[in-house]
Structure 1
């Protein structure tokens, strides 16, 4: 019996004192600050012995997850205090349709030594659906620059 690897979206718990709100940090073996540049459309990649825990701290981008031969698009944004947890073996890529860079904290959980094929881009088996990405961002009231469609 095998377990299906699932991407999880977890809301952050917080404590508010006065006007300041403190969010629960994520347990990790390594913490990375990642910048997703404006207009980025990254190929898929897979981590073999690493779980990514992504939290948007400035701007917005969309993570494309490939599971069961279909893409699932998840927004990562400073407007949404949530952690996207991507387990090992799940192909994923970044799409930033905005004209601004996005900063993301990745609280990495290690499950072994990095694999030689980690971070090596994989050609997506079929194109991303930019209309769906734009629709998702529009539903969240996140502005998209005119002419940003990358079909």
Structure 2
């Protein structure tokens, strides 16, 4: 059996100078901005040769991870600078129940050429639990745990 890669969650380190706060940069092979529209409930997708490193810079959303036939709902917000690292092979999606779009930076780590099926949506094996999504959003004011 192969090693199952886990999603990592970590708050960014920062340094303050006067009224400016500097946050730890993310090493990447490519950086893109991603917007999750207001009210979006996106299907899952998976990358075969890429690690996503997501950081919300405006708004909030819930990252959905599917591992071991269970969903994990990870709330992310611009109020708590947090990076979520999603290794290759982990199905994930996005839910934004707010009335505002969410903007994030994805500092990609490439492990090979993109696969043609990387961005094709996967039908979720079972429906998302929107009650659990709302509860996850309520936890945004509390520190995230891995």
Instruction: Place the TM-score, normalised by the shorter chain, in its bin.
Output: over 0.9
Match of 1:146 in 2: none
Aligned residue-pair number: 141
* Structure 2 gaps, min length 5: 142-146
Please give the alpha-carbon distance, in whole angstroms, between the structure 1 residues aligned to 2:96 and 2:42.
9
Following TM superposition, by how much is the alpha carbon of 1:97 offset from its aligned partner in structure 2, in angstroms?
A: 0.2
* TM-score, normalising length: structure 2: 0.94
Following TM superposition, by how much is the alpha carbon of 1:10 offset from its aligned partner in structure 2, in angstroms?
A: 1.4
Match of 1:127 in 2: 127
SS of the equivalent of 1:97 reads coil
* TM-score, normalising length: structure 1: 0.91
Following TM superposition, by how much is the alpha carbon of 1:136 offset from its aligned partner in structure 2, in angstroms?
A: 1.3
Please give the alpha-carbon distance, in whole angstroms, between the structure 1 residues aligned to 2:118 and 2:128.
21
Following TM superposition, by how much is the alpha carbon of 1:139 offset from its aligned partner in structure 2, in angstroms?
A: 2.8
Q: Is the 8 A contact 2:63 2:93 kept in 1?
A: yes
Match of 2:144 in 1: none
Q: Is the 8 A contact 2:77 2:140 kept in 1?
A: no
Q: Is the 8 A contact 1:54 1:76 kept in 2?
A: no
Q: Is the 8 A contact 2:76 2:140 kept in 1?
A: no
Please give the alpha-carbon distance, in whole angstroms, between the structure 1 residues aligned to 2:23 and 2:69.
35
Please give the alpha-carbon distance, in whole angstroms, between the structure 2 residues aligned to 1:80 and 1:119.
28
Match of 1:137 in 2: 137
List aligned pairs for 1:97-108, cutoff 5 A: 97-108=97-108
Following TM superposition, by how much is the alpha carbon of 1:79 offset from its aligned partner in structure 2, in angstroms?
A: 1.0
Q: What is the alpha-carbon root mean square deviation over aligned residues?
A: 0.9
Q: Is the 8 A contact 2:63 2:74 kept in 1?
A: yes
* Structure 1 gaps, min length 5: 142-151
1:6-63, CA deviations, whole angstroms, 9 ceiling, x for partnerless residues?
0000111111111210001100000001110000000000000000000000000001
Please give the alpha-carbon distance, in whole angstroms, between the structure 2 residues aligned to 1:3 and 1:46.
17
Please give the alpha-carbon distance, in whole angstroms, between the structure 1 residues aligned to 2:30 and 2:138.
33
Match of 1:79 in 2: 79
